[in-house]
Structure 1
Amino acid sequence: MGGNLHQARKEAMWGMFVADALSMPVHWYYTPEDIKSGYGGWLTGYRAPNKRHPHCILSLSSTGGSGRSGWGSKSKPLIGSVILHDKLKYWTSADTSTHYHQGMKAGESTLNSMVALQILTTMHRVDPDCTHADDTVRAAVLEDYVKFMTTPGSHNDTYAESFHRAFFKDWAVTDPQPRSGADVLKFAEDRSAKKMKGIEDHQLSVVGALVPALPWILRSAGKSEDECVKSTVDFVKLTHPVPSLFPYVEIYARLLHRVLHGKDLREEVKWALERKELGGSDKYKMVHGLKEKADGYRKDSEERLRIHQQATSMLGSACYIEGALSSLLYLALNYADDFDGGVLANANCGGENCHRGSALGALLGAARGASGQPITQKWKDGLTTAKEGLIHLSKPI
């Protein structure tokens, strides 16, 4: 892997974890003013989450599968038994203000990012030169995913997205429960084929899917763009078997692959926004108009931040992929050459800022690395749970 590409890949990897950890304390804050009032001002660095969350629906979320607790048939709780072993009490508490990431410390990474770290670690162990067939690597990744998720104490998070809960709902009732790489891969492939023929679970067509997808893009950075897209989408099919999601994963994979190879981020954002899935040329014109409005204010001003908050709210601040990816691209357009400003603006816009942030941070980090510039060291130093693993993974491949 060439020097510039290695640097871009490394900074993209750090960037996804920095943006996630910065956003963690204010994840799913849908009224940005709650960030300012709850933390004594806008976030400027890593913070631990407050004990109380102003918009938490954790107690409404299903403990036995995807979505909310009132949807579909009642299922035996996975939370507390199969995954999130000591966390069921927070999901069933009468206190409806429990923070999704309660108990975590400043600089810690949320569950999806820790799963991405596990994927990267597995890839580095079984295929450090990126020469093995995808099936071989997928089997190893899925084996370690099952082990990671079902091992008590493997991470510190309290919340698990619907895709984890849906996966382990089906895994738990399989007899015997698949644990070897070959068995988990067959289970996931069979499950995916069946799910894609049925009614889509729209709780899985979300920006959080890009987080476990990111390691596959980074792994395929040295391959062709089409190979990278295929490798990435093929894995996402196993964790998020909803066909409506795949075109957006393709758009993001192509975008990041190009930026890793030194293409101009703003030009590639324009290409992405003009794709029909995101609204075509009219969407780009709207996003560019919002950027011009923000450009009328000083970069570090509250007035500019409020334009960003309004823009992400209008484009989509929730988890669903079209809106979340549109907001991500809006922020990337504004901060293509300003990693620090971009990840902080993302955090302070609230909403689904952790997973949107992971994908944004990877783009901004890749752009910085491709130009030969590392991410500011303080952001790397401030990470906690992911830092040791990232340092190991940052060595040349």
Structure 2
Amino acid sequence: MPSRDLVLHVMYHVLPRISLFTMCEVRRAVCEALWGMCAADAMSMPVHWYYNTRDIRRDFGGWIGGLMAPRDTHPSSILSLSSTAGSGRTAGSTAAAAPVVGNVILHDKLKFWTDSSGSVHYHQGLAAGGNTLNALCALRVARVLSAGAFSASDPEARAAVLSDYVEFMTRRGSHRDTYAESFHRSFFSDWQELRPTAPREVLEFAERRSRRMLSASRADGQLNAIGCLPMAIPFVLMSAAANEEEAVNAALELVKLTHPHPALEPLVSLYTRTLHATLNGACLKQQAEMALKSPALDAWDTCQGFIKRAERFPGSSEERLKVHQSAVESLGLACYTKGALCSLFYLAYSFHNDSPGGILTNSNCGGENCNRGAALGALLGARAAYLGSFVPQEWKVGLVDAPEQISNILRDLDRSASV
């Protein structure tokens, strides 16, 4: 039996050091997850929704290898077909609500949505290293949570986040992006009648809306999209030191308010559990394999064929990239959540120890690579912190909006010592 003095020594001297060491590791993982999320989004931004990967090489003189600005035009843009009054496309919209694009959000961007050429790039006007609207919203969520005197799981946190979201989205000149996907347009189509702004009022509005939409006989399929993850990711990051259930539930409660779709809960739960585990030191390769084998995805058998094919070629070769492109095209190239998560976890498994390679490959696979990339980048960044590899410094300094935002978030965390 150990002596009483030895037990007391462990309790009062060794355990606090272990705890402090663990907290430092987790905090570093949170930091790199933020950088990975923003870097992957910005890297993909110029080729967002390029569904033919040959167009990437043609428009940019080769594969994406660093932060670049988008072209003014897009080879497969459907911006002009998208509804300015709500989710989805104009042709399929039966909503009688007044347009929100140009009136409530994106005040100076309506001209691009109605351009007669029909080929305007979704993110025209952004500079190299610029983040898309969803990533900018995610950074604001993280700042509200890091600066707030509440737990991310509290209703007060959701109220503060949604109130800030309304202020940011409706303020003229608050960002430079051209596109707002369906969930933004749907939210503000409903919001514009009463226009609540106070935190409690916005939360009550969002909760009523969520209950109505989740109980509807027909769900809005446009909301079952991987774009549900960026604004939810900070709820996990800011709950990294909390238990898994608290972190996952905090993210799920936010998603119910931004993306009220009944199919999302098991998929969001799967991703957020993986992110929380990775932030706390779990092996990303193992976590990705578990996710692909889960009943929610059941994609492991399909992935194995691509994994074995990719291993036949050198790591940085174009032949291996083409295998990854084929895998993402087969698993899920578009925005729909299940397919996008299959592609995301396939890339997470393949690049579990190579965050730069994973971020670049995701970009060069095209499709819904921004939101998929943001979620993948958070995982790769979190794991990189434990491997000592980190997101490349030149990418960090090349980002336009993220450095100041992340600096402020980390300063808040230092003050609160919550992560």
TM range, smaller chain:
over 0.9
Match of 1:330 among 329, 339, 346: 346
Contact map agreement 2:162 2:202 (CA 8 A) in 1: yes
3-state secondary structure, aligned to 2:248:
helix
Match of 1:144 among 150, 164, 168: 164
Contact map agreement 1:79 1:85 (CA 8 A) in 2: yes
Contact map agreement 2:152 2:239 (CA 8 A) in 1: no
The answer to whether the aligner puts 1:361 opposite 2:374 as a matched pair is no
Look up the equivalent residue of 1:160 and give its one-letter code: A
Aligned CA distance change for structure 1 residues 119 and 132 (closer, same or farther; 3 Å): closer
Contact map agreement 1:261 1:370 (CA 8 A) in 2: no
Q: Quote the residue 1:15 is aligned against.
A: 36
Q: CA deviation at 1:229?
A: 1.0
- Pairs within 5 Å for 1:136-285: 136-174=156-194, 177-198=195-216, 199-279=218-298, 283-285=299-301
Look up the equivalent residue of 1:247 and give its one-letter code: P
Look up the equivalent residue of 2:280 and give its one-letter code: H
Contact map agreement 1:49 1:103 (CA 8 A) in 2: yes
Match of 1:65 among 80, 86, 89: 86
Look up the equivalent residue of 2:189 and give its one-letter code: K
Q: Quote the residue 1:5 is aligned against.
A: 26
Q: Can you list the C-alpha shifts for 1:44-64, whole angstroms capped at 9, x where unaligned?
A: 101100111001000000000
* Aligned positions, number: 390
Moved over 3 A (4+): 130-133
Q: Can you list the C-alpha shifts for 1:103-143, whole angstroms capped at 9, x where unaligned?
A: 1100000000000111111112213xx54761111111111
Q: Quote the residue 1:300 is aligned against.
A: 316
The answer to whether the aligner puts 1:102 opposite 2:124 as a matched pair is yes
Look up the equivalent residue of 2:86 and give its one-letter code: G
Q: Quote the residue 1:314 is aligned against.
A: 330
Q: CA deviation at 1:219?
A: 1.2
Distance 1:322 1:131 in 2: 29
Distance 2:81 2:240 in 1: 40
Distance 2:43 2:389 in 1: 21
Look up the equivalent residue of 2:88 and give its one-letter code: G
Distance 2:394 2:276 in 1: 26
Distance 1:131 1:341 in 2: 35
Comparing 5-14 with 73-82, which one deviates more in the overlay? 73-82
Comparing 18-27 with 265-274, which one deviates more in the overlay? 265-274
Residue ranges of structure 2 left out of the alignment (5+ in a row):
1-19
Q: Quote the residue 2:390 is aligned against.
A: 374
Contact map agreement 1:9 1:260 (CA 8 A) in 2: yes
3-state secondary structure, aligned to 1:109:
coil
3-state secondary structure, aligned to 1:169:
helix
Q: Can you list the C-alpha shifts for 1:305-328, whole angstroms capped at 9, x where unaligned?
A: 111111100111000001100001
Distance 2:51 2:151 in 1: 44
The answer to whether the aligner puts 1:126 opposite 2:148 as a matched pair is yes
TM-score, length of structure 1 as denominator length: 0.96
Distance 1:46 1:376 in 2: 12
3-state secondary structure, aligned to 1:140:
helix
Percent identical residues: 47
3-state secondary structure, aligned to 1:276:
coil
Residue ranges of structure 1 left out of the alignment (5+ in a row):
none
The answer to whether the aligner puts 1:76 opposite 2:120 as a matched pair is no
Q: Can you list the C-alpha shifts for 1:317-360, whole angstroms capped at 9, x where unaligned?
A: 00000110000111111100001100000000000000000000
Distance 1:326 1:102 in 2: 29
RMSD: 1.2
Contact map agreement 2:152 2:250 (CA 8 A) in 1: no
Aligned CA distance change for structure 1 residues 132 and 358 (closer, same or farther; 3 Å): closer
3-state secondary structure, aligned to 1:3:
helix
- Pairs within 5 Å for 1:13-92: 13-73=34-94, 74-92=96-114
Contact map agreement 2:48 2:369 (CA 8 A) in 1: yes
3-state secondary structure, aligned to 2:229:
helix
Contact map agreement 1:15 1:364 (CA 8 A) in 2: yes
Distance 1:287 1:347 in 2: 19
